[in-house]
Amino acid sequence: MIPLKVENQFAFSDKDRNIDVYIKREDLIHPFVSGNKFRKLKYNLAEAKKQNFKTLLTFGGAFSNHIAAVAFAGKAEGFKTVGIIRGDELSEKIKDNPTLKFASENGMHFEFVSREMYRNKTDESFLLSMKEKFGDFYLIPEGGTNELAVKGCEEILTEEDKNFNFIACAVGTGGTIAGIIKSSLPNQQVLGFPALKGDFLQNEIRNFAEETNWQLIDGFEFGGYGKVTTELIVFMNDFYAETQILLDPIYTAKMVFGVRSLIEKGFFPDNTKILLIHTGGIQGIDGMNQLLEKKKLPKINRND
Ligand SMILES: *Cc1c(COP(=O)(O)O)cnc(C)c1O
């Protein structure tokens, strides 16, 4: 399912200071499924198969890259899939929501729950009721992060990336960066740009990775998870015009914006090579553009 090698592409540079920035195009793994979500599912699906499960069950919001990925990968590997979706008002709107529409077309069954119930989604009693409804299932956590997911993300960096001094990636639950940290070299620095505010992330990452050559850079959340500003959209559109590389508004745009700002502030030494990880998330653009249109705000350009 995953190509063995994903290209690194030149993105931009600061010529005066000899800083070169490349981007690993994990987004090209699939037009609708985030690269890192595939990687997180790889060993989980193998384990589910090994344990003879026929059904995968997971959780997510209405724009979730993870929901889209489980639906698609589950179908490709012959599983029935169930998505517990946050927000019971959405059950009427599957056709209007690009993520849910895609997941549904790939055979996912939905269980829409209130925001309140969603908070208790991993309680024993709720999971039991789901077992009664859908039969036994292999449970994949929200966002897909567990030990096997981190193992899959260790395959993002390869031998040819060893000459980069810094590796930057967006952070949601922390599983992706944990895998990257584990496969990075001790002399490389891994920078994580959280897409949401919260102090829990440091510990989440430490649970999976013992290495210490990493740090989280706060301040580029643009209002929090799923939120965007016009400044961010303008940045994305400029970046797209310059490089022909489409970023996603929830994760990768905030990370690339962050790296650009750090370069401007002199964070990086001269003669540095930086590798950005484009984790994907492109499937979320259409849903975000629907919201931006409603609010009469500038939209994300795409002509692919
Ligand atoms: C889910 C996601 C992330 C965050 O990954 P985590 O492992 O949850 O930190 C980053 N980028 C994209 C495009 C994603 O879909």
Q: Please indicate, yes or no, whether residues 30 and 53 belong to a single structural domain of this protein.
A: no
Pocket of ligand 1 (CB under 6 A): 34, 36-37, 65, 143, 145, 170-177, 248, 251-252, 279-281
Q: How far is CA 302 from the centre of its chain?
A: 19
How crowded is residue 140: how many other Cβ atoms within 10 Å of its Cβ? 26
C-alpha 170 – ligand 1 centre gap (Å):
6
In a domain, 87, yes or no: yes
In this predicted structure, what is the pLDDT of residue 33?
84
Q: Which of 134, 185, 195, 147 has its CA nearest to residue 163?
A: 185
Residue bearing the CA closest to ligand 1, atom 5:
172
- pLDDT over threshold 90, residue 35: no
C-alpha 132 – ligand 1 centre gap (Å):
31
C-alpha 65 – ligand 1 centre gap (Å):
8
Q: Which atom of ligand 1 is nearest to the CA of 251?
A: 11
Q: Please indicate, yes or no, whether residues 87 and 126 belong to a single structural domain of this protein.
A: yes
Number of domains in the chain: 2
Ligand 1 pocket test: pick from 26, 33, 65 the residue with the most ligand atoms within 8 Å of its Cβ: 65
- pLDDT over threshold 90, residue 46: yes
Q: What is the CATH number of the domain that holds 139?
A: 3.40.50.1100
* pLDDT tens digits along 154-208: 999 999 999 999 999 999 999 999 999 999 999 999 999 999 988 889 999 999 9
**Residue holding tokens 């002199």?**
266
In this predicted structure, what is the pLDDT of residue 5?
65
Domain boundary among 116, 144, 172: 144
- pLDDT over threshold 70, residue 2: no
Q: Please indicate, yes or no, whether residues 229 and 163 belong to a single structural domain of this protein.
A: yes
| Domain housing 163 | 8-35+150-294
- Output the CA angle 5-9-11, nearest 5 degrees: 150
